[in-house]
Structure 1
Amino acid sequence: MSFFQKMGTGNLLMLILCIAIIIVAEYLFLTGNELHGIFLGLWAPTLLGVMIYLKLVSHERK
């Protein structure tokens, strides 16, 4: 079983979204919109935390 099949489609999409958010936040920060870049950059760890929480809740139900 490959790594991507183990992750699942939902988790893979959320990971790609987090990577895209980080790239956009870096772009905003480096082009002079520091506050917008920081604000957007805080979304990625929040989404990762939600992913971990949902994984723990679903694992606990089993």
Structure 2
Amino acid sequence: MNFIKKLGLSNALMLALCALIIVVAEYMFLSGDEIPAIFIGLWAPTLLLVAIFIKQIKNER
């Protein structure tokens, strides 16, 4: 619980969502859906980059 307070609830939820996306993409890839799995697997770094961008904008203000 201390980790979530230190990280922030929105950042913790974003990291959990990215981890879930990676797990789903791995499952799809191993079950034989390679192309959709790669597409879905690319969502995680995109979401992390958006979160970093929003945090930078917030820190500049």
Report if TM-score (shorter chain) is over 0.5: yes
Identity of aligned residues (%): 57
1:7 aligned residue: 7
Shift of 1:3: 2.9
Separation in structure 1 between the aligned mates of residue 29 and residue 3 of structure 2, nearest angstrom? 33
Gaps of 5+ in 2: none
CA RMSD of aligned residues (A): 0.8
1:28 aligned residue: 28
Q: Secondary structure at the match of 2:32?
A: coil
2:57 aligned residue: 57
2:19 aligned residue: 19
* TM-score of the pair, normalised by structure 1: 0.91
Gaps of 5+ in 1: none
Opposite residue 8 of structure 1, the aligned amino acid is G
Opposite residue 53 of structure 1, the aligned amino acid is F
Q: Which whole-Å deviations, capped at 9, do the CAs of 1:5-59 have from their partners, x for residues lacking one?
A: 1211111101000000000000001110000100000000000000100110001
Separation in structure 1 between the aligned mates of residue 3 and residue 9 of structure 2, nearest angstrom? 11
